[in-house]
Structure 1
Amino acid sequence: MDIVKSTTTDGSWYEVGNAQEIDSPALLVYPDRVKHNIDMATGMVGDAQRLRPHVKTHKSSAITRFQLASGITRYKCATLAEAAMLGRCGAPDVLVAYPLLGPRVDAFLQLSAQFPGSRFSAIVDHRSVADRLSAAAVSRHASVDVYLDLDIGMGRTGIPMGAEAEALYVHCHSLAGLRAAGLHAYDGQVREPDPERLRQQCETNFRPLAALVERLSGQGFPRPEIIIGGSPSFPYYAEMAEVQCSPGTFVLWDHGYAVDCPDQAFLPAAVLFTRVISLPGPETICVDLGHKAVGAENAIERRVHFLNAPGLLALRQSEEHLVLQAPAGHGIGLGDVLYGIPYHICPTVNLYDAFNVVQGGMVADSWEIDARQRFRYAADTD
């Protein structure tokens, strides 16, 4: 496959010497690169206590333990399965940054009781959510820290900043069983590659949030904690000593952020391992990387970037197959291994039961992705 061989600048760091022993598709992880990314993030904020990384990207106890060992004590998650994983790891501070509705309220409180060494907190963006959480906490003689979820342009969850947000924070403070701890804001809509424009967007988004903090402090409330940002805006908020930063993708990185955030020097630490399973035509190949093996929410051309065959173009995909266009005379044969970085690593990780751990150029271990399954309410809340 000489015609489409790798054009990467750092060599074949991703290749494994025991490829013939590895079934495909598989998700490889490189611990040295994971540690590099964690060290880089802690260095950017200057104090590990200012990091509150989102675990939705890796969903694994093994990587959580790397983060704990680096001094990170605060975490963010989306699912109760992720929260339970953090509890099992002994994470001191866990924010469930997803609305608690239906059976999740009681299950969340059960987790708090099950893992007393972890402080579990929640977000609220509506009075009825706060009221329900308060009543449930009181019935269990519990107290829950809550963060007001603010919409700073994502248009997904969160209450718009202004008088309504201020009133909801005051309401949460008045409710038995709750403690208004601070403000939470996610700016996933910010994808600006130019550092100066990124700064301008973040400043615009942060200005009304800072004003809300001053109004609440002026009413005599303890100064609210601020949890803000994702991976693209992380460099901006890393410079603000008064906020907690909550990037997630940084720990594994992906090709989408490598393109959108060219000034960030995180390393790809997870790679897809796939094989050529068919040669349907002289300039087409088929690999075993279907919808079930790589995040498929993006357009077909933005799903995977092949490190050792960057000239391949994705044509179509089904559950178990990905058909690719290759140059004439490509030389790729049946059984050849391709290594790809997904454009979006978070949903890709969720498709696998385990990482294949690469050490010394060989797959030498596996790490369970133990928070990928949905929370089992009946088993964990009896």
Structure 2
Amino acid sequence: MTDVSIDARYQQPDEQVSTPCFVIFEDMVLRNLKRTAEACGGIERLMPHVKTHRAPWIAKLLMAQGVGAFKCATPAEVEMVLAAGAKRVTWAYPAVSPANLARFLALARAHKDARLTGMVDSEQGLDVWKAQLSAEDDNVDIRVDLDPGMGRTGAPMSGVALGLAAEAGKFARFAGWHVYDGHIKGDRETRRRQVSEIAERLSGLQASLHADGVVSDVVAGGSYTFNLWPPEVARYVSPGSWTYSSSQHDIELADLGWEPAAFVLATVVSVHAGTATLDAGSKAVSPDKPIPERFRWPRKIISMSEEHTVVEADDLKVGDRVFLMPQHACTTAYLYDNALVKTSAGAWQRRQQLGSKR
């Protein structure tokens, strides 16, 4: 059997493991954290999005390094980071489902030593909050989600947003604004210019609030913009992909120095003239990406089905193991409820993560 590794940093486990297997390198995660904190001006600005890893052990690792706040997409992620000991958690999703909000508030009531923040972007969302929030929820506040031009969620950055903020402040503590600018791509200068334009508009909203004596702050940015948001505008920035990086970010954000930290270990199960078949299919890696782009491969990814991928290859043998670098690490991690971790101490350990639990 031959182990085919990405490079010398990424040694495969000696032990026999079932494949496909999700593999993480802890040292790379820690180095990525350091570089991300340096890029945004300090670890105190980071509110990392946990959707990338969905792993309680990583939440604990980040807290041990000084991370004090987390952003989540689902109630299960909120529950996970609270159980890990987080004291400041933002559920960055407009709450319009009464059942989801009830679950969130139950978590807040069970963790009175933590401050939890929810989100709205509509009058309908506010009505759901009004129906469930009570006087006992004194550790819960609300942010208004703003649409900076992405067109996904968020209130218009206008008087509409100010109206929602004023209404939220009547029955809850208004925490401030949330701005996710995932539509911003391109070279650094293009991204910087677009962030600057959004920040200027946001500063106008902030000025209106301050004139009325309302204290608030801002959570902004994703992987492509977190280091471009001025600290005088955004108290927190919330990238998530830095944790593992990916084939995509390794190329498009190379200047950040993130090291790919998560891979899918696959085994060659069949070979033919000029091709090899791997045991990692569409249920194993980057399910949201086009098949030819789901992981980094030096030649062509020919086809993919649920449990098989056929790739161009001349030098692989049946039984060889290969590391696949996902194009999208977030959706890859979602497929696994545990990972094989190369620890900073050099040992291999199985560690649990949420997998597809929502």
TM-score calculated relative to the size of structure 2 = 0.94
Look up the match of 1:226.
218
1:48-127 equivalence runs, <5 A: 48-100=43-95, 101-127=97-123
Question: May I ask how many residue pairs the two structures share in their alignment?
Answer: 355
State the shift of 1:42 in Å: 2.0
1:186-205 equivalence runs, <5 A: 186-192=180-186, 194-205=187-198
CA–CA separation in structure 2 for the residues paired with 1:335 and 1:361: 29
247 and 357 in structure 1: CA distance in 2 versus 1, 3 angstrom threshold: same
Look up the match of 2:324.
340
- Does the CA-based 8 Å contact 1:26-1:272 persist in structure 2? yes
State the shift of 1:362 in Å: 6.7
Say which SS state the counterpart of residue 160 (structure 1) adopts: coil
Say which SS state the counterpart of residue 354 (structure 2) adopts: coil
Aligned-partner residue type, residue 286 of structure 2: G
Look up the match of 1:273.
265
2:26 to 14, 17, 31: 31
1:169 to 130, 149, 165: 165
Aligned-partner residue type, residue 181 of structure 1: A
1:356 to 2:340 alignment: yes
Look up the match of 1:320.
307
371 and 141 in structure 1: CA distance in 2 versus 1, 3 angstrom threshold: farther
CA–CA separation in structure 2 for the residues paired with 1:355 and 1:270: 9
1:288 to 279, 298, 317: 279
CA–CA separation in structure 2 for the residues paired with 1:372 and 1:115: 24
Look up the match of 1:373.
357
Aligned-partner residue type, residue 94 of structure 1: V
Aligned-partner residue type, residue 184 of structure 2: V
Say which SS state the counterpart of residue 185 (structure 2) adopts: coil
List runs of 5+ in structure 2 lacking aligned partners: none
State the shift of 1:135 in Å: 2.6
Look up the match of 1:216.
209
What is the root-mean-square deviation in Å for CA atoms of aligned residues?
A: 2.0
Look up the match of 2:245.
253
Aligned-partner residue type, residue 265 of structure 1: G
Say which SS state the counterpart of residue 98 (structure 2) adopts: coil
State the shift of 1:363 in Å: 6.1
- Does the CA-based 8 Å contact 1:238-1:245 persist in structure 2? no
CA–CA separation in structure 1 for the residues paired with 2:166 and 2:89: 23
CA–CA separation in structure 2 for the residues paired with 1:117 and 1:360: 31
- Does the CA-based 8 Å contact 2:39-2:256 persist in structure 1? no
TM-score calculated relative to the size of structure 1 = 0.88
Look up the match of 1:134.
130
CA–CA separation in structure 2 for the residues paired with 1:288 and 1:238: 46
CA–CA separation in structure 1 for the residues paired with 2:290 and 2:162: 40
Aligned-partner residue type, residue 325 of structure 2: I
- Does the CA-based 8 Å contact 1:27-1:272 persist in structure 2? yes
CA–CA separation in structure 1 for the residues paired with 2:256 and 2:232: 17
Look up the match of 2:229.
237
CA–CA separation in structure 2 for the residues paired with 1:137 and 1:201: 37
CA–CA separation in structure 2 for the residues paired with 1:62 and 1:337: 27
Aligned-partner residue type, residue 210 of structure 1: S
289 and 238 in structure 1: CA distance in 2 versus 1, 3 angstrom threshold: farther
Q: Write the deviation string for residues 270-318 of structure 1: whole angstroms up to 9, x where unpaired.
A: 1110011112x30121101111101221111211014xxx2x3111111
Say which SS state the counterpart of residue 254 (structure 2) adopts: coil
State the shift of 1:45 in Å: 3.0
List runs of 5+ in structure 1 lacking aligned partners: 375-382
Aligned-partner residue type, residue 313 of structure 1: K
Say which SS state the counterpart of residue 273 (structure 1) adopts: strand
